[in-house]
Amino acid sequence: MTNESQEAHQPGLAAEWDPRSEAVLADQISAFDQMRSRCPVARSQYGYASVFRHADVLRALLDHETFSSAVSRRPSVPNGMDPPEHTEFRRIIDPYFSPARMAEVEPHCRRIASEIIARVPDATETEWMEDVAQDFALRVQCAFLGWPATLHEPLRQWTRKNHRATLARDEAAMAAVALEFDGYIKDLLALRRAAGSGAPDDATTRLLGETMNGRALTEDEIVSILRNWTVGELATISASVGILTQYLATHEPLQQTLRAQPELLPAAIDEILRIHPPLIMNRRVATRDVDIGGVPIAQGERLALLWASANRDAAVFGDPDEFRLDRDPALNLLYGAGIHVCPGAPLARLELRVIMEELLKSTRGIALGAGTQAVKAFFPASGYSRLPIVIQR
């Protein structure tokens, strides 16, 4: 990372930085703020260039012809695809997150949230990430997909292994973890095929009946869809629940406002997650030589679009830490933008609204625990890996 004495960015030059240095990992959000003020682009030893500014990130999101999403070594349906293939898969996937489908899911989501919040002890420090956030994300995702409760613990352990392998850039471990997850899904698909007309009517079974251009989806395509839904949901929902709870715990007046006016929750949630993003980045690759903020990017160069920086750009949001409910929601890149905007955004918004509603209506107060220090998560995650919370009923 550049040092404090470095001069402001000169057009045509990219800074160099180490996004996994101890200084950056100690406080990723602050590091991104510093880098964004100095340069639009910074290259690293990991083979990609980080893009910090809102305008540049939004440009890349909207120009899918110049900035391709086909960056994964493994099939990634649909987020690792470009049109026309991406368009066909989104036609299949988007109805799974329709308003009608979300209305079906909400009672299950609320039941799970209520059960989890009800078991949190009164006036006693609780490890929020493991006991509440991660459990909520796992149970809702399995309910949405029709997966059995017996998968909760294997998926919890799998998530941890996946994070360790990704952080270590251990290709062998990453491949083994991916193969393990695919095995869970293939077993579930095999059970549904064997059950025939007796298979449960859930999202996983429905995918087996989908067609594209007159053909059935392949098993690899279905596995990739379910992998992307699950991996993305488990990480971001648990991170988001932790971030939201920590923010409310440290902003007591906002707690009271939202208890009295729960209709403000959707906008408040999006604003809190703009201030402290649950997602660090998304990847693209340049399909031609291009210029970003005066920095030349060569065809084939890989880019990291840093949501966690773009959503705090003072050129768009002023003071990035100022909480405001009157911001233009179109500027918030929490769920992306353009043709690759997150298809699961309606489910994520539903989950976060419901668990915050249940938490606020079940408590008189939410505070940070005094006995244990909160620990921030580190790349590729965001939020907290440990979060002590005390509630008062």
Domain that holds residue 169: 25-392
Q: Is residue 16 part of a domain?
A: no
Buried residues in 250-285 as b, exposed as e (16+ CB within 10 A): eeeeebeebeeeeeebbebbbbbbbbbbbbbbbbbb
CB-based contact 382:280 (threshold 8 Å): yes
Q: How many helices (H) and strands (E) would you count in the chain?
A: 16, 15
Residue for token pair 């929750």: 265
**66 has a pLDDT exceeding 90:** yes
Strand residue runs (E) in 265-355:
282-286, 290-292, 295-297, 302-305
Report helix angle 99-118 to 345-361, nearest 10. Answer: 30
- Cβ-count burial of 186 within 10 angstroms (0-12 exposed, 13-18 middle, 19+ buried)? middle
4: pLDDT confidence band, cut at 50, 70 and 90? Answer: very low
**Using one digit for the tens of pLDDT, what is the confidence trace for 331-376?**
999 999 999 999 999 999 999 999 999 999 999 999 999 878 898 8
Q: Is residue 122 part of a domain?
A: yes
CATH number at residue 52: 1.10.630.10
**8 has a pLDDT exceeding 50:** no
The SS3 call for residue 87 is helix
Distance CA 353, CA 356 (A): 5
For residues 8 and 46, the model is more confident at: 46
169: pLDDT confidence band, cut at 50, 70 and 90? Answer: low
Q: Is residue 241 part of a domain?
A: yes
Average pLDDT, the chain: 91
Q: Is residue 5 part of a domain?
A: no
Q: The pTM is what?
A: 0.92
**Using one digit for the tens of pLDDT, what is the confidence trace for 288-301?**
999 999 999 999 99
Distance CA 26, CA 92 (A): 41
**Using one digit for the tens of pLDDT, what is the confidence trace for 99-149?**
999 999 999 999 999 999 999 999 999 999 999 999 999 999 999 999 998
Q: Is residue 105 part of a domain?
A: yes
Which of 28, 25, 31 minimizes the C-alpha distance to 4? 31
What percent of the chain is modeled with pLDDT above 90? Answer: 77
For residues 166 and 56, the model is more confident at: 56
Q: Is residue 11 part of a domain?
A: no
pLDDT of amino acid 167: 65
**Using one digit for the tens of pLDDT, what is the confidence trace for 177-236?**
778 888 889 999 999 999 999 999 999 999 999 999 999 999 999 999 998 898 878 889
Q: Is residue 44 part of a domain?
A: yes
Q: Is residue 296 part of a domain?
A: yes
**5 has a pLDDT exceeding 50:** no
Indicate the number of domains in the chain: 1
